[in-house]
Amino acid sequence: MALRGGLPSESGAVGVEGPRLVEEALRSACPIRAVLFSESGARHHTRLAPYLDRPEVAIPVLHTTDRLFEGIADTENPQGVAALVTPRPTSLEEIIRTGEGCSSALILVLVGVQDPGNVGTILRTAAAFGASAAITAASGQSGTASPFAPKALRASAGAALHLPVVGGHAAAAAIEQLRAANIYVMATSSRESDSNSQPLLTPWQVNWCRPVALLIGNEGQGLPEEVERAADARIRIPISSSVESLNAAAAAAVLFYEAARQRSS
């Protein structure tokens, strides 16, 4: 069920499939409930042996036939290895604890990003450029896809297993808590500035070395206006007038790269 439906099992475990993702799960701090090999997938045991064969770790290793494995796999051409993984528990209070300078919080907040592939790609990008945590939030009727859905996990290349991720919050409540913790909240926006709205900044006008949370909205509609108004400032990437906008994943890459550039210097 965890592999095919992308939903946590009764124990809270999620399914990961393929040697690369299983290896990432074993490398992470997440508890591993079991690893499953098919007959043909047993060839991957050598790759995973350094993690599975440690005497201090007692991970159940299960075996099944290729036919039965294909029946539970989410991919069209399964590679014969999967695992049940319990994402490490974390809370909003934990991830908003801030450090100083380059170690200060850099938090991704996904609001209504519905495509699991986009969720995974953005998480991978954020992790690559030093994000400290992520929040998946809903606004109105628009929720964010689970970062632990099979497609999202594949797109993130396992980043969701390493990066602290908090879900289940409404966008307005998350923003309120972030601001209360003195984290500067920025809303990505494609709207023009007006006299009644927050400052509209370019990526290089932002001080990314302070504690920052970056809000990224729905693929088609972006962030709702009320969410933008709740932020401390809006951020917009200057692009050619012949192009309406960047997609959510491309925008995230540009913004988190600028954050990494400033923090590394």
Which residue ranges form the domains of the chain, and what is each CATH number?
A: 2-85 (3.30.1330.30), 92-264 (3.40.1280.10)
CA dihedral 30, 95, 146, 38 (to 10 degrees): -10
The C-alpha angle with vertex 148 and arms to 146 and 154, in degrees rounded to 5, equals 115
Tabulate helix, strand, coil % of the chain (nearest 5): 40, 20, 40
Alpha helices, H only, 55-201:
66-72, 92-95, 116-128, 150-156, 159-162, 171-180
Residue 231 near residue 186, CB atoms below 8 Å: yes
- Give 165's DSSP letter: E
The answer to whether the Cα torsion of 176, 181, 184, 186 is positive or negative is: negative
Closest residue by Cα to residue 113 from 140, 129, 136: 136
The C-alpha angle with vertex 53 and arms to 11 and 30, in degrees rounded to 5, equals 35
Tens digit of pLDDT per residue, the chain (265 long)?
Answer: 888 765 666 778 899 999 999 999 999 989 999 999 999 999 999 999 999 988 777 899 999 999 999 998 888 899 999 999 999 888 999 898 755 555 689 999 999 999 999 999 999 999 999 999 999 999 877 889 999 988 999 999 999 999 999 998 899 999 999 999 999 999 998 776 655 567 889 999 999 999 999 999 988 888 998 999 999 999 999 888 887 778 899 999 999 999 999 999 8
Q: Measured between alpha carbons, how far is residue 144 from residues 116, 118, 140, 216 in Å? A: 8, 10, 11, 11
pTM metric for this prediction: 0.90
The helix (run of H) or strand (run of E) holding residue 254 is helix 248-264
| Model pLDDT, residue 100 | 54
Residue in this structure with the two tokens 């990066």, named with its chain if needed: 163
Report the distance separating Cα 124 and Cα 143, nearest Å.
20
| Model pLDDT, residue 195 | 53
| Model pLDDT, residue 221 | 84
| Model pLDDT, residue 137 | 94
Residues contacting 148, CB < 8 A, separation 6+: 6, 8, 14, 87, 160
| Model pLDDT, residue 6 | 59
| Model pLDDT, residue 219 | 82
Residue 117 near residue 146, CB atoms below 8 Å: no
